Amino acid sequence: MSEITQAQCDESGEYNANNCYPAAYGSWNLVCAASSTVNSCDGNTDTDVGWACTFPLQYHADPTVTGTPKASYNWIAAAKATDDDSASSSLVDSTTYSNELDKFLAYDLATTTLAYGTVGPNQESSEKNTAVLATGNIGLDENLSGTNMCTDYPTCSGDTIPVSQQHYNLTPGQGWSNGTALSTSTVEVELNCPKTTVTNNPASSTTYWILKIPENQPTGTYTGQNTIEGKVDNENYGS
């Protein structure tokens, strides 16, 4: 990225999957070849030649589009030339080409089931949790909604537990009464999961859940569905 000019991003130890991809880094799959499409070489008096290079970026490489923390920067490439006598130029930043990197919304759930276990009437379950992982190049909030729980889900023609009996909180240990009731309508929750900065260690944030069974609720095995949808956190996705 141009915040650290690519002429300074040239040694293996400077590799940073968020913003610096030096050719010297051995695990980075850079492929370059002479290209007449870019600029043909017309003999030994021709001082110009074109090369085309392709390379991957990690999923959490910093976005630079409008509204992102790095919006004032662009992704640029730098190159140096070496001839058959091993004479080489310095590494020079491109002054012609630069590119914006778009934001990429992706997420995963570390937990796919909320098993509240056996809970009696007018009793609260133990606290359960769901963790959202940032697997794109942005931070995340979440949209939450759910259904009533019933003994014959999804038909729900018999006994039901209202969806509002599930309460959630972004801080552990707050108890059912201090949580927010889940709704059948989608609600945005300020999860503030940060952008991932380490490839093999996705950033994550946790939501905590407690179910309270209504008084005189008939005994049974109740099932429902909660929907957790990741969304862009516009305030919290820079590295």
Q: Are residues 92 and 121 in the same domain?
A: no
Instruction: Judge whether residue 235 has pLDDT over 80.
Output: no
Residue range 53-64: mean pLDDT, rounded:
91
Average pLDDT of the chain? Answer: 89
| Burial of 231: CB neighbours in 10 Å, binned 0-12, 13-18, 19+ | middle
Q: Are residues 126 and 92 in the same domain?
A: no
Q: Are residues 118 and 217 in the same domain?
A: yes
Tell me whether residue 117 is in a domain.
Answer: yes
Residue in the structure block whose two tokens are 């003999």 = 43
Cα dihedral sign, 10-11-16-22: positive
Q: Are residues 57 and 165 in the same domain?
A: no
Task: Name the token pair of 231.
Answer: 């969304």
Separation in Å, CA 222 to CA 157, 170, 203: 12, 25, 33
Residue range 104-132: mean pLDDT, rounded:
96
CA pair distance 38, 165, nearest whole angstrom: 64
Q: Are residues 95 and 49 in the same domain?
A: yes
The CATH number covering residue 195 comes to 2.60.40
Q: Are residues 149 and 204 in the same domain?
A: yes
Percent over 70 (pLDDT), the chain: 95
Q: Are residues 220 and 171 in the same domain?
A: yes
Q: Are residues 2 and 27 in the same domain?
A: yes
Q: Are residues 111 and 89 in the same domain?
A: no
Q: Are residues 50 and 149 in the same domain?
A: no
Domain boundary among 32, 67, 102: 102
Instruction: Judge whether residue 91 has pLDDT over 80.
Output: no
CA pair distance 67, 73, nearest whole angstrom: 12
Task: Name the token pair of 230.
Answer: 């990741």
pTM of the model: 0.85
Instruction: Judge whether residue 75 has pLDDT over 50.
Output: yes
Residue range 160-169: mean pLDDT, rounded:
98
Tell me whether residue 239 is in a domain.
Answer: no
Residue range 154-169: mean pLDDT, rounded:
97
Q: Are residues 127 and 83 in the same domain?
A: no
pLDDT of 130 reads: 98
Tell me whether residue 19 is in a domain.
Answer: yes
Per the structure, the count of domains in the chain is: 2
Tell me whether residue 34 is in a domain.
Answer: yes
Tell me whether residue 238 is in a domain.
Answer: no
Of 177, 160, 169, the residue nearest 214 (C-alpha): 160
Q: Provide the domain limits for residue 167.
A: 107-232
Q: Are residues 56 and 139 in the same domain?
A: no
Residue in the structure block whose two tokens are 């509240």 = 116
